[in-house]
Structure 1
Amino acid sequence: MRLLRDWSKEILLVLMALIFLSPVYIIFINSFKDRRELYENTLAFPETFSFQYYTEAMEQMDFFNAFINSMVVTIVSVAFIVILSSMTAWMLARTGGKISTIIFMVLIATMLIPFQTIMMPLMQLVTGITNNLGIQLYNTLSGLIFMNIGFHAALSVFLYHGFIKSIPISLEEAATIDGASKLGVFWRIIFPMLTPITATVMILNVILIWNDFLLPSLTLVDKDLRTIPLSVFYFFGEFTIEWNLAMAGLTLTIIPVVIFYMIAQKYIIKGVGEGAVK
């Protein structure tokens, strides 16, 4: 009876995995098909595996330019998020008091606000700053990076805050007695111990920023500034959709994130688990 119960759990897990992976299968398989094959049977294997549509998709997307734009936005945004969020969380966790608690709760509260409710006022503010003050936030990668840092800081501070509370304060006191400055304590003692949660923060933010479509679509206008999700979107026309090219473009979009996740996945569970310790 126990053996039957164990087998039933395994079968259930396999079925659930197949259901969750089915969209990836559909995207990958249909990226090799022409329009006739795609419309005849979406789930069937293609007659031939040719990279013709990947080549066409890369040319129409201006893939390498879009890839570089996405890499710049993602890497710079994540680097600033990691540095600023870890320092903020450390100060909030160690100073205590009502002011620190209020700041932390305000940051957490911002996570509950849907982006769609503020995107129009945000664009009015950004265009106003660009036109009136001359600070180029609209239609620039630097402006997109600046907004990414602000929108993703709250989650990162929340994760770092919980993890830092599990680090004994006696380590910091010992370093201070030895003559270390505040910055020295943070960079030499605290930050190296944040490696698991830093990997988690990086993974989450890389996935969110790399796949983000809405904010770049509102912020970037010039074709040369398009990120990969914006480039893929232009396969979906008003009257026609080039499904096979779109599938090839989506596959190219997914691959870098999958590779990054596979490299850093061993840290994510450890980081989230330890970050939950008060």
Structure 2
Amino acid sequence: MTKKKKWVFGIFGLVLVLAWLFPFYLMIVNSLKPKREIFTNTLGLPKDGTFDNYIQAFQDLDFVKTLFNSLIITVGSVVFIIFFSALAAYALQRVKTKLSGAVFMMFVAAMLIPFQSVMIPLVSIFGKIDQLNRGGLIFMYIGFGASMSIFLYHGAMKAIPVALDEAAVIDGATRWQIFRHVIFPILKPTTVTVALLNTMWIWNDYLLPSLVINKEGKQTIPLKMFFFFGEYTKQWHLALAGLVIAIVPVIIFYFFMQKQIIAGVADGAVK
């Protein structure tokens, strides 16, 4: 690659980075401004920065309780998605029959079904069995998150030699022991990738929780954020401060898992 092309790619990459960071810049600088200044000086830095918006947003969101609700739903859903998807992918990949192939293709095809097409009947059925609660919501997330997760695990398991299973069987291991102690540890990069993708989706989801658990005291952070948008007024200064508070847990999670995520992406690309 010539020096000129490197400069072109470098400038193009810089433009993309700035375009990606620009919304975060707007969110952070405007979260430090009074409501009126947001509209008079949207792009500029705050004239008199204040953290009062964060204090007020923290109180209005009832953040401790709301954070707990989001954590329970997100962590519970992601843990079950990882557990069941890894097991299902292991069975579908190791037991190679026409039935297992057909079941796997059904999971792949399910990724193409939009949620909106099953939204009304799903909520109606769960309402009839009295499961419009956090437990029912976690169950729904498992169903919606399983297809993509099984697809990722299935692809990663193709590169794990069957000889490992056979050696473990010779040593007297059961199928569960083979999966638990031999296969699943090898899938760590894929597991981290699955955890991140599902965490970001479930943590930020608004539509499904609004249909299932939109009750006072049970709301997740995205649902509670709607408190700042009334019929006649929109409290942008508090909403932006609330958004900053809401994304902090996900950013912390991402930075802790960054190495494993990069390893998982590279591992999947090679396989």
Structure 2 residue aligned with 1:229: 222
Among 241, 244, 263, the alignment partner of 1:270 is: 263
The Cα of 1:11 is off from its aligned counterpart by: 1.4
Find the aligned partners of 1:31 and 1:102 in 2 and give their Cα distance: 51
**Which shows bigger deviation, 207-216 or 5-14?**
5-14
Give a deviation string over 1:157-188, Cα, whole Å, max 9, x none: 00000001100110110000110011111101
The Cα of 1:6 is off from its aligned counterpart by: 1.4
Structure 2 residue aligned with 1:133: none
Gaps of 5+ in 2: none
Find the aligned partners of 2:18 and 2:55 in 1 and give their Cα distance: 29
Give a deviation string over 1:10-56, Cα, whole Å, max 9, x none: 11111111111111111111101111210102111111222100010
Structure 2 residue aligned with 1:5: 5
Aligned-partner residue type, residue 65 of structure 1:
K
The Cα of 1:277 is off from its aligned counterpart by: 5.7
Among 170, 177, 180, the alignment partner of 1:177 is: 170
**Which shows bigger deviation, 91-100 or 7-16?**
7-16
In the TM superposition, 1:1-278 aligns within 5 A as 2-130=2-130, 137-138=131-132, 140-275=133-268
Normalising by structure 1, what TM-score?
Answer: 0.94
Find the aligned partners of 1:234 and 1:210 in 2 and give their Cα distance: 17
Aligned-partner residue type, residue 123 of structure 1:
V
Q: Is the 8 A contact 2:81 2:142 kept in 1?
A: yes
Give a deviation string over 1:177-202, Cα, whole Å, max 9, x none: 11001111110111111111001111
Q: CA RMSD in A?
A: 1.3
Aligned-partner residue type, residue 39 of structure 2:
Y
Find the aligned partners of 1:208 and 1:201 in 2 and give their Cα distance: 11
Aligned-partner residue type, residue 227 of structure 1:
T
Q: Secondary structure at the match of 1:48?
A: coil
The Cα of 1:2 is off from its aligned counterpart by: 2.8
Q: Is the 8 A contact 1:166 1:274 kept in 2?
A: no
Find the aligned partners of 1:6 and 1:149 in 2 and give their Cα distance: 45
**Which shows bigger deviation, 267-276 or 179-188?**
267-276
Q: Is the 8 A contact 1:213 1:229 kept in 2?
A: yes
Q: Secondary structure at the match of 2:228?
A: coil
The Cα of 1:221 is off from its aligned counterpart by: 2.8
Q: Secondary structure at the match of 1:223?
A: coil
**Which shows bigger deviation, 90-99 or 253-262?**
253-262
The Cα of 1:263 is off from its aligned counterpart by: 1.3
Gaps of 5+ in 1: 131-136
The Cα of 1:258 is off from its aligned counterpart by: 1.0
Structure 1 segments of 4 or more deviating over 6 A? none
Instruction: Give aligned pairs, total.
Output: 271
